[in-house]
Amino acid sequence: MSRAQAENGSDNRQPSADSELRDASRAGLLGPRYPYDKERELIGLVKLGDRTGAREILNEILGSILYCHEDYCTDRDFEIMKARTLELMVVLSRAAVEGGASLDKLLGLNFTYLQQLGESQRMEELWVWLVQILDRFLDTVYESRNIENFRLIDDAVKYMRKHFCDHDLSLGRVAAAIHVSPFYLSHLFRDELGTTFIAYLTEVRLEEAKKLLRDTSLTVSQVSDRVGYSDASYFSRVFKKHEKVTPARFRREF
């Protein structure tokens, strides 16, 4: 098991929900708009079993859906936030199943968590509740995995996230980096993550591209180069196929 996995599996300390809310507020994350791009990123991390990465993204999402300070939060606001929290629990549960977790075990957990949600009276309780659910769902993903295969996928994904901007990043190069054959790595992606190498790489590149389009003034051509595409026209076609809008329109509207 890799060092990152050991850290992910062993660190179950929960951060203060109040401090997380303050941090999210300072970062400008609080607001009623739901971050669907972050939800997709969270789903991928849960399927992978990345506890640290999933917690980070979950906190960003919670900063968006738990948008009302308790001092001026109406009953209606709180019920809306509870509904959003429930929807997010369903998303996490589905992602855990796709990551290999036992459906029967998750159904039992979900029943217990629904009872707890109904008893929640404060926003801090919702925050802590969801972080605990995330950890438990990730535990079920870990329990279902072949440890050696999981380590290999973990190493492959870390390498890809570090080098995704390289234009020549390929299945063969990643396989060589983790000392397996391209054929074996290809099957690991399908069997362990339910996707292909190229589909996962494309997802990583497009997530970074969206961040650059939102947060920088780089041209589309420069963004294309930064995320590993040497041909800006091809990048734009790939982007539109997956996001249903061109990079330029995404920048204007999102």
Burial 173-190 (b: 16+ CB within 10 A, else e): ebbebbebeeeebbebbe
pLDDT at 168: 95
Chunked in runs of 10, what are the mean pLDDT values of the chain (254 residues)? 41 47 43 74 85 87 72 74 86 86 80 79 83 88 78 92 96 96 93 89 94 94 96 97 94 88
Query: Is the Cβ–Cβ distance between 135 and 128 less than 8 Å?
Result: no
pLDDT in tens, 104-154: 888 877 777 887 787 777 878 888 888 888 988 888 887 777 777 888 998
Domain ranges of the chain: 3-144, 147-253
Query: Is the Cβ–Cβ distance between 206 and 220 less than 8 Å?
Result: no
- As a CATH number, domain 147-253 is 1.10.10.60
pLDDT in tens, 189-207: 988 888 899 999 999 999 9
Query: Is the Cβ–Cβ distance between 70 and 122 less than 8 Å?
Result: yes
- Is the full-model pTM beyond 0.85? no
pLDDT at 191: 84
Count the helices and strands in the chain (H runs, E runs): 14, 0
